[in-house]
């Protein structure tokens, strides 16, 4: 046991698949700022054309290029996912850690609030946020999704934090006079990060998919923004005559969600010294 | 004046009394042993001394550590007390060290806090002090081990690191809660010797908790025997462990003797 293994983490091909999938989506999202095959609302082709050299992913009911929409959709998916996870993560982690440290009454109260909010449909929260801001926009959708997922992050953070706080090394740190701030930053956050990271990746996927539902209700990004969720929804009437219109955004969504989860797994293995050698 | 005074300490949850009417004192530099079977309340007593009882457990009675009342003290007052007056070494060194932090940084934490109090916490001063501590606890190959994570080193090495962290505070009282139970016999002996040497050299008082009579006899000057949350006997170690007056202590001593005899092959 005394042999110290300082070896580099073994790279796992499955994790590379994750980095690859996310990398491709990021690449398309970034390129879409500078270049797309056509303009978003350019009705450049015939209606419902299958994939061809002129339209790599075919066209929609109005003859707009689907590959262009897919690229813009990649950008929107990333913005929605990152934004929602950032907002929900910050609110959730702060309240979760506070709950774990709070007096018993406050802790029970916060735990109950988390549970009630989790039972509250995200869509309902989203509608309330939209109503409060009096307009549907991408920003409103992100804010709504972030608020919607914050109680899930809060609940998990609270439980993970309590588990870490019950460990001897926390007691040892407290006996030696370590303040709460240092305990949170040096001991609690690093030790909950591996689990929390995987959960946040999951939330990222859920947020991207929930944005599709919001768009469906007209609460997401307004047209002509093409989120993958809206592409799916617009293609649902023509799924038998032009299946690629639904298939491609569906696949893209699937690839991004899978990719993010594999990536989170990979990052956890890379940064958790206990998993590194195993 | 006593460094630690515990008077009629009672620890209870809403429906059970876990420790009842416990009194003892520890003088500066004295080595005090707390003996008792599993569940007798030894660890709870030590947590009460540092003001770190689980929320569900309410203390009553009186605890005075280095002139400060512990029961009812504010978290701020306790924080100051903990940093300078008392430190703890736990039973299981694997859980007593942060699994995600290299050992060197874990020792550096309390060192930096102490040096800050005295004003001079430069990186070089901290590193020098960490090296001094690793020498003191005779950590082998410190260059390598200080960069390692807890799961990468042996149990004995982990316990040496935990002791170094406790010493880093320059405490007046060191609480060792079964510090050798998780270790193999040879390592146990090394760690006990190390602890003894250190508290003697530094003049630190020791509260040594164990259910191993042999070890307690080797370490402590005075002992107290606990059973079901109550003290059944206390006095000089030599007297209690060789000529116990209480029935329970007598049965413990007899059991320990039978165990030793069995080990050495005597009938
Ligand atoms: N948080 C808690 N809430 C309620 N009861 C507790 C709690 N912690 C410990 N106890 C109880 O208090 C009693 C004393 O526990 P303690 O940990 O002090 O025993 P111990 O003498 O240290 O035993 P061991 O030798 O096994 O470490 C036990 O019966 C235990 O079940
Ligand atoms: Mg114990």
ipTM confidence score: 0.80
CB-nearest to A2 from B99, B109, B157 is B157
Within a domain: A49: no
Judging contacts by C-beta atoms under 8 Å, the chain B residues touching residue A173 are 98, 109
User: Which residue segment(s) compose the domain that A235 sits in?
Assistant: 13-31+64-277
Given CA atoms B43, B45, B51, B55 in this order, what sign does their dihedral have? Answer: positive
C-alpha neighbours within 13 Å on the C-beta side of residue A152: 23
What does the alpha-carbon distance between residue A164 and residue A192 come to, in Å, rounded to a whole number?
Answer: 8
The pLDDT of residue A57 is above 90 = no
B147: Cα separation from own chain's centroid: 26
Within a domain: A116: yes
Nearest CA among B137, B152, B140, B136 for reference residue B103 = B152
Which of the four pLDDT bands, split at 50, 70 and 90, describes residue B212?
confident
Which of the four pLDDT bands, split at 50, 70 and 90, describes residue A4?
very low
**Interface-testing mutation among A9, A164, A166, A169, with chain B (most B C-beta atoms within 10 A):** A169
Q: Do A186 and B109 touch (CB under 8 A)?
A: yes
**Cα three-residue angle B171-B177-B183, rounded to 5 degrees:** 115
Distance between first and last Cα of chain A: 14
Nearest chain A Cα to B166, which residue? A176
Compute the mean pLDDT over every residue in chain B, rounded to the nearest whole number.
90
- Residue of the nearest CA to atom 17 in ligand 1? B43
CATH pick for B1-85+173-267 out of 3.30.70.1400, 3.90.1330.10, 3.40.50.300, 1.10.1040.20:
3.40.50.300
Within a domain: A50: no
Within a domain: A42: no
Residues 162-201 of A with CB under 8 A from B: 167-169, 171-179, 182, 186-187, 190-191
**Interface-testing mutation among B57, B88, B100, with chain A (most A C-beta atoms within 10 A):** B100
Q: Do B153 and A172 touch (CB under 8 A)?
A: no
Within a domain: A222: yes
Percentages (nearest 5) of helix, strand, coil residues in chain A: 75, 0, 25
Q: Where in chain B is the domain with CATH 3.40.50.300?
A: 1-85+173-267
The pLDDT of residue B257 is above 50 = yes
- We report the CATH number of the domain holding residue A86 as 1.10.3720.10
Burial class (CB in 10 A: 0-12, 13-18, 19+), A80: buried
The pLDDT of residue A5 is above 50 = no
Which of the four pLDDT bands, split at 50, 70 and 90, describes residue A270?
confident
* Number of structural domains found in chain A: 1
**Per-residue pLDDT averaged across A27-40, rounded?**
91
- Residue of the nearest CA to atom 16 in ligand 1? B41
Strands (E), chain A: none
Within a domain: A245: yes
Residues with CB under 5 A from ligand 2 (ion): B 43
The pLDDT of residue A9 is above 60 = no
- Residue of the nearest CA to atom 31 in ligand 1? B39
Which of the four pLDDT bands, split at 50, 70 and 90, describes residue A275?
low
């Amino acid at each position: 046991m005394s042999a110290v293994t300082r070896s580099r983490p073994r790279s796992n091909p499955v994790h590379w698949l994750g980095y690859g999938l996310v990398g491709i989506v990021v690449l398309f999202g970034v390129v879409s700022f500078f270049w797309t095959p056509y303009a978003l609302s350019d009705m450049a082709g015939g209606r419902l054309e299958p994939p061809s050299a002129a339209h790599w992913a075919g066209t929609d009911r109005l003859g707009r290029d689907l590959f262009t929409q897919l690229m813009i959709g990649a950008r929107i998916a990333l913005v929605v996912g990152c934004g929602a996870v950032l907002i929900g993560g910050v609110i959730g982690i702060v309240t979760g850690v506070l709950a774990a440290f709070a007096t018993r009454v406050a802790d029970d109260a916060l735990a109950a609030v988390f549970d009630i909010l989790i039972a509250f449909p995200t869509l309902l929260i989203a509608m309330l946020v939209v109503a409060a801001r009096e307009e549907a926009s991408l920003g409103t959708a992100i804010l709504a999704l972030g608020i919607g997922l914050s109680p899930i992050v809060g609940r998990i953070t609270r439980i993970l934090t309590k588990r870490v706080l019950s460990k001897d090394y926390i007691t040892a740190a407290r006996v030696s006079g370590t303040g709460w701030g240092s305990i949170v930053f040096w001991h609690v956050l690093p030790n909950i990060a591996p689990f929390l990271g995987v959960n946040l990746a999951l939330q990222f996927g859920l947020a991207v998919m929930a944005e599709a539902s919001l768009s469906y209700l007209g609460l997401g990004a307004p047209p002509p923004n093409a989120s993958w969720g809206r592409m799916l929804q617009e293609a649902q009437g023509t799924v038998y005559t032009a299946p690629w219109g639904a298939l491609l955004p569906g696949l893209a969504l699937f690839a991004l969600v899978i990719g993010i989860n594999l990536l989170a797994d990979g990052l956890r293995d890379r940064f958790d010294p206990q998993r590194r050698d195993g | 004046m006593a460094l630690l005074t515990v008077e009629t300490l009672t620890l209870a949850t809403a429906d059970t009394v876990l420790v009842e009417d416990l009194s003892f004192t520890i003088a500066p530099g004295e080595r005090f042993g707390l003996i008792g079977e599993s569940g007798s309340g030894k660890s709870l007593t030590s947590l009460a001394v540092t003001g770190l009882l689980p929320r569900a457990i309410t203390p009553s009675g009186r605890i005075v550590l280095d002139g400060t009342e512990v029961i009812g003290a504010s978290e701020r007052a306790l924080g100051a007390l903990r940093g300078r007056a008392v430190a703890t070494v736990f039973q299981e060194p694997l859980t007593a060290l942060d699994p995600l932090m290299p050992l060197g940084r874990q020792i550096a934490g309390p060192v930096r806090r102490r040096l800050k109090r005295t004003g001079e916490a430069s990186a070089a001063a901290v590193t020098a002090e960490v090296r001094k501590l690793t020498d003191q606890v005779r950590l082998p190959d410190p260059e390598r081990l200080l960069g390692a994570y807890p799961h990468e080193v042996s149990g004995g090495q982990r316990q040496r690191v935990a002791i170094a962290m406790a010493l880093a505070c320059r405490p007046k009282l060191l609480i060792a809660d079964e510090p050798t139970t998780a270790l193999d016999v040879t390592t146990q002996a090394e760690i006990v010797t190390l602890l003894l040497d250190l508290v003697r050299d530094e003049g630190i008082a020791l509260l040594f908790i164990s259910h191993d009579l042999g070890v307690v006899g080797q370490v402590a000057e005075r002992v107290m025997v606990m059973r079901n949350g109550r003290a059944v006997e206390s006095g000089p170690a030599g007297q209690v462990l060789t000529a116990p007056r209480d029935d329970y202590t007598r049965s413990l001593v007899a059991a320990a003797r039978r165990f030793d005899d069995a080990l050495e092959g005597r009938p």
